[in-house]
Amino acid sequence: MTFETLNLIPQILHSLKGKGYLTPTPIQEKSILHILEGKDIIGSAQTGTGKTAAFALPILQMLFTTKATQRKGIKTLVLAPTRELAQQISDSFRDYGRGLHLRHAVIYGGVSQRPQTDALCSGVDILIATPGRLLDLMNQGYVRLENIEFFVLDEVDRMLDMGFINDIKKIITRIPEKRQTVFFSATMPAEIKKLSDTLLHHPVHVQVNPPSSTAINVKQYMYFVQRDLKKALLKNILEKEPKHHTLVFTRTKRGADKLVKSLLADGMKAESIHGDKSQGARQRALAQFKTRKINLLVATDVASRGLDITDITHVINFDLPEEAEVYVHRIGRTGRAGAMGIAISFCGHDERYMMKDINKLSGNKIELVATPTLSHSETRQHASHDKPRIYFSSDGHHREGHSSRHGHSRHRERSLTGGHTSHSERRFPPRHSENNHAESNGNSGNGHSSQPERKFIPRKKKWHGKWQGKRSSHRPSR
C-alpha cells in the first residue's frame, strides 16, 4: 500500500516525502481511510508504530479541505499525558501540515502560560494539550471547546495512570456531542474500555499488535543483582558498549539524580529528566541526548512514553516498574523505526515479586543473564556488607546463601519461564556482531563462568524471598 492509495492530498504527500516516509505503517493503513470517512476509531497500538501520523494526516486533510480556517474556534483537540508527548504531537502536526496554513498550538504545565495564552488569543485550529493545563486555561476563559469537530485522546492508559481521569471527564462535558473521536491506548484494560464506550460511536477497532506485548525487535535481558551493586553493573555494561545511546529508568526522581551524579563522577556524560525538573531543563536534556552530546539519559516514567528518539540502542530498567505495562512502554523507547533494540532490566531482591507479570507480558521472552564479576573495589565494598545473596543451584532452583568472602560468587542463569534450563538451552546475549551488550566478565559466552562455581551451602534460615509473583505457591525446594 502507498500513501496515494490512502486518498491523501498532494500537499500532505509532499510533506511525507519531505519526512522520508515511503509507505504507510500498519496503523496508518488501518486508520487513515476510516478517519477520512468520518468514523470514530479505537486503536490499540504500541508506541513507535506511527500512530501520530495515523490520526494527524486525515485530520489535517479534512480541516484543510473543509476550509477550517474560515470557521471560528478550535476545531481539533488532542489530549496527551505528558509535556514531551504533547510537544512531539505538535511538531508532527507542524511537519505534516506544512503549506496547509492551519494554525496549531500546544499547551502544557510547568512553563509560563503567557506564550500559550497569546497563541490561543491569536486563533487556533488544532490544540494539543495535557489535561491539567487545558482545564486550567479553560477555567480562566482562554479555551472554549464548543466548536470541536475532532477529538483525539492519545495514550489514554497513561493519562489514567497519571490520575487525569477526572480532568478528562470535565473536559469531555465541554466538547460537543457531535464530533469525531479517535482514541488510542497501548493497553485496553476494562476501565479504559468502559471510558471508550461512553465516548465513541460505533468505532472501528484497529490493532497493530496484541495489546501489552513487547516489540519483537527488542531483545530483553534480566540480571538479578543486589541493589547496592546496580550502579557497578550499569557501568560494567556501558563500558562494553562505546557507541551506546541509552535511556535508563529509575523509579524515583531522587534515584535518577543520584545515579546521574554517580555517573558524572565516573566521567560519563549523563543527564536526568523527571517531573521535578523545569520544562526548560527537560527540553535541554532531551536535546543533548537527541543530538548525542550525551549518550545517557536517566529518566523516571515521565519519559517512558511518547519520547520519540529513533536511535536509542539500550533501555535499562535500573529499577523495575511496579506495573508490568509500564515495562512494555519503557522498552518501547528502543527498537523504533525498524531498528533493533536492547532492553536490560536489573531485578533486585526486593523487586522479584514484579517479575512474574513482567515476564508474562513480555511473552516469556526475557533472558536471564549471569551477573558479571564486578570490580574489586565494588565487590569488596559489597562483601563487607556480607548480605545474603541468591544463587541458582544446578537443579535450577534458586536459593538463598551468603555472598562469597570476596563477592565473586555469581548467579547462574535460570529460565524465566519457570522451569529450569538445561545448559544447552541457555542463551546469552550474542557477541558484538549481534548486539553483545552484556557479555559477562570471565564468561566465555556459553553461560559458564571461568571462575569455579561456588558450592551452594543451604542455610537453615527461613526463606522469605518471593518468586513467581506475589501469591507465590512456589517455595523453592531445598
Residue numbers of the site for ligand AMP (CB under 6 A)? 21, 24-25, 28, 47-53, 308, 310, 336-337
Taking the least distance from each CB to ligand AMP, the nearer of 36 and 281 is: 36
Structural element, H or E, at residue 337: none
At residue 175, what is the residue type?
A: I
Taking the least distance from each CB to ligand AMP, the nearer of 92 and 371 is: 92
Least separation in angstroms between CB 323 and ligand AMP: 21
Task: Give CA–CA dist 194/386, Å, rounded.
Answer: 51
Taking the least distance from each CB to ligand AMP, the nearer of 310 and 444 is: 310
Taking the least distance from each CB to ligand AMP, the nearer of 216 and 337 is: 337
Task: Give CA–CA dist 422/433, Å, rounded.
Answer: 25
At residue 306, what is the residue type?
A: G
Taking the least distance from each CB to ligand AMP, the nearer of 51 and 412 is: 51
Least separation in angstroms between CB 80 and ligand AMP: 11
CB distance 69 to 101 below 8 Å? yes
Closest CA to 106 of 56, 39, 58: 56
Taking the least distance from each CB to ligand AMP, the nearer of 32 and 127 is: 32
Taking the least distance from each CB to ligand AMP, the nearer of 86 and 354 is: 86
Task: Give CA–CA dist 119/111, Å, rounded.
Answer: 14
* Half-sphere exposure in the Cβ direction for 456 (13 Å, CA): 20
Least separation in angstroms between CB 297 and ligand AMP: 17
Least separation in angstroms between CB 308 and ligand AMP: 5
CB distance 2 to 23 below 8 Å? yes
Structural element, H or E, at residue 242: none
Least separation in angstroms between CB 27 and ligand AMP: 8
Task: Give CA–CA dist 300/346, Å, rounded.
Answer: 15
Least separation in angstroms between CB 225 and ligand AMP: 32
Least separation in angstroms between CB 337 and ligand AMP: 5
Sign (positive or negative) of CA dihedral 107, 113, 114, 118:
positive
Taking the least distance from each CB to ligand AMP, the nearer of 23 and 444 is: 23
Least separation in angstroms between CB 208 and ligand AMP: 10
Task: Give CA–CA dist 185/201, Å, rounded.
Answer: 17
Least separation in angstroms between CB 77 and ligand AMP: 18
Taking the least distance from each CB to ligand AMP, the nearer of 184 and 221 is: 184
Closest CA to 56 of 2, 15, 1: 15
Task: Give CA–CA dist 29/51, Å, rounded.
Answer: 10
Q: What letters, b where the CB count within 10 A reaches 16 and e where it falls short, cover 135-149?
A: bebbeeebbebebbb
Pure H helices in 206-346: 230-239, 253-265, 279-290, 324-331
Bridge partners, 129 (sequence order):
79, 107
